[in-house]
Structure 1
Amino acid sequence: MASANVVEKIELGSSGLVVSQQGLGCMGMSAFYGPPKPEEDMIRLIRHAIDSGITFLDTSDMYGPFTNEVLVGKAIKGLREKVQLATKFGVNLADGKREIRGDPAYVRAACEASLKRLDVDCIDLYYQHRVDTRVPIEVTVGEMKKLVEEGKVKYLGLSEASASTIRRAHAVHPITAVQLEWSLWTRDVEEEIVPTCRELGIGIVAYSPLGRGFFSTGPKLVDGFGEGDFRKFLPRFQPENLQHNANLFERVHEIAARKGCTPSQLALAWVHHQGKDVCPIPGTTKIENLNQNIGALSVTLTSEEMTELEHIASKDAVKGDRYPDMRPTYLASETPALSSWKAE
Structure 2
Amino acid sequence: MKTRKLGQNGPDVSAIALGCMSFAGFYGETDRDEAFATLDAARDAGITFLDTSDMYGKGLSETLIGEWQKDRGHRFQIATKGGIVIGAPRGTADNSREYLREHLEGSLERLGVDSVELYYVHRREFPRPIEEVTETLESFRQEGLIGAFGYSEISPAALRRASSVAPVGAVQNEYSLWTRQPDLGLIQACKDLGTTFVPFSPLGRGIFGDSDLDPARFRDIDFRKSNPRFMEPNFSANMEHVRALRAFAHDRGWTTAAVAIAWTLQQGDHLVPIPGTRNAAHLMEWADADEIIFTESDRAALDQIMPVGWAHGDRYSDAQIVGIERYC
Deviation at residue 260 of structure 1 after TM alignment: 1.4
Which runs of 4 or more aligned residues in structure 1 lie more than 6 Å from their structure 2 counterparts after TM superposition? 78-81
Pair 332,111 (structure 1): closer, same or farther in 2 beyond 3 Å: farther
Deviation at residue 23 of structure 1 after TM alignment: 0.4
Q: 2:24 aligns with which of 16, 30, 41?
A: 30
**One-letter amino acid of the structure 1 residue matched with residue 307 of structure 2:** S
**Unaligned runs of at least 5 residues, structure 1:** 1-6, 334-344
Contact 1:205 1:281 in 2 (8 A): yes
Deviation at residue 254 of structure 1 after TM alignment: 2.2
Aligned to 2:175: 182
CA deviations 1:216-239 (Å, max 9, x no partner) are: 146534244234212111110011
Deviation at residue 80 of structure 1 after TM alignment: 7.3
Q: Secondary structure at the match of 2:315?
A: coil
Q: Secondary structure at the match of 1:126?
A: strand
Contact 1:218 1:246 in 2 (8 A): no
Out of 203-212 and 95-104, give the one that drifted further: 95-104
Contact 1:32 1:228 in 2 (8 A): yes
Aligned to 2:326: 331
Q: 2:100 aligns with which of 78, 102, 107?
A: 107
Q: With structure 1 as the length reference, what TM-score do the two structures score?
A: 0.89
* Count of matched residue pairs: 326
CA deviations 1:146-165 (Å, max 9, x no partner) are: 11111111111111010010
**One-letter amino acid of the structure 1 residue matched with residue 7 of structure 2:** G
Q: Secondary structure at the match of 2:171?
A: strand
Q: CA RMSD in A?
A: 2.0
Higher helix share: 1
Q: Secondary structure at the match of 1:127?
A: strand
CA distance in 2 between partners of 1:192 and 1:28 (Å): 29
**One-letter amino acid of the structure 2 residue matched with residue 24 of structure 1:** L
CA distance in 2 between partners of 1:273 and 1:224 (Å): 34
Q: Secondary structure at the match of 1:205?
A: strand
CA deviations 1:42-64 (Å, max 9, x no partner) are: 12221321132111000001101
Higher strand share: 1
Out of 263-272 and 182-191, give the one that drifted further: 263-272
**One-letter amino acid of the structure 2 residue matched with residue 187 of structure 1:** R
**One-letter amino acid of the structure 2 residue matched with residue 106 of structure 1:** Y
Q: 1:242 aligns with which of 235, 260, 280?
A: 235
Deviation at residue 332 of structure 1 after TM alignment: 6.5
Out of 116-125 and 11-20, give the one that drifted further: 11-20
Q: 2:129 aligns with which of 133, 136, 143?
A: 136
**One-letter amino acid of the structure 1 residue matched with residue 14 of structure 2:** S
Q: Secondary structure at the match of 1:248?
A: helix
CA deviations 1:85-111 (Å, max 9, x no partner) are: 000011111457652111222111111
Pair 327,222 (structure 1): closer, same or farther in 2 beyond 3 Å: same
**Unaligned runs of at least 5 residues, structure 2:** none
CA distance in 1 between partners of 2:73 and 2:96 (Å): 30
Q: Secondary structure at the match of 2:204?
A: coil
Deviation at residue 8 of structure 1 after TM alignment: 1.5
Q: Secondary structure at the match of 2:244?
A: helix
5 Å-filtered alignment, 1:296-311, equals: 296-311=289-304
Q: Secondary structure at the match of 1:257?
A: helix
CA distance in 2 between partners of 1:284 and 1:132 (Å): 29
CA distance in 2 between partners of 1:322 and 1:259 (Å): 29
Q: 2:4 aligns with which of 4, 10, 19?
A: 10
CA distance in 2 between partners of 1:252 and 1:323 (Å): 23
Contact 1:84 1:124 in 2 (8 A): yes
Matched, 1:41 2:34: yes
Pair 256,77 (structure 1): closer, same or farther in 2 beyond 3 Å: same
Out of 271-280 and 70-79, give the one that drifted further: 70-79
Matched, 1:267 2:263: no
CA distance in 2 between partners of 1:53 and 1:218 (Å): 26
**One-letter amino acid of the structure 2 residue matched with residue 295 of structure 1:** D
